[in-house]
Amino acid sequence: MRVLLLVPAMLALAVPAMAESTRPARQPSEAQAAQQQRMRQCNTDARANNLSGDARKEFMRRCLAGQGAVAPSSTN
């Protein structure tokens, strides 16, 4: 009796999970793709300048805002 109740319950939970995994991946919009590219470039530049902590945070903020690559301040 329990098995007869358990099997349909398991199928009811498994089928939506399988359907979810077969959905094609969404492609980012043009604006999202541009933002992702800008983020990659800013990260690369920050790594090249060996920035960390507040200096990296400030650099990333300015870079992502489009204010250009600003030289890091040496207040450490």
Residue-wise burial string across 34-70, b where 16 or more C-beta atoms lie within 10 A, e elsewhere: eeeeeeeebeeebeeeebeeebbeebbeebeeeeeee
- 10-27 mean pLDDT: 72
Q: Is the pLDDT reported for residue 14 higher than 70?
A: yes
Contacts 24+ apart (CB under 8 A), 18-24: none
Give the model's pLDDT for residue 21.
Answer: 62
**pTM of this structure:** 0.55
State the alpha helices, DSSP H only, in the chain. 2-21, 30-48, 53-64
- State both tokens at 4: 């007869």
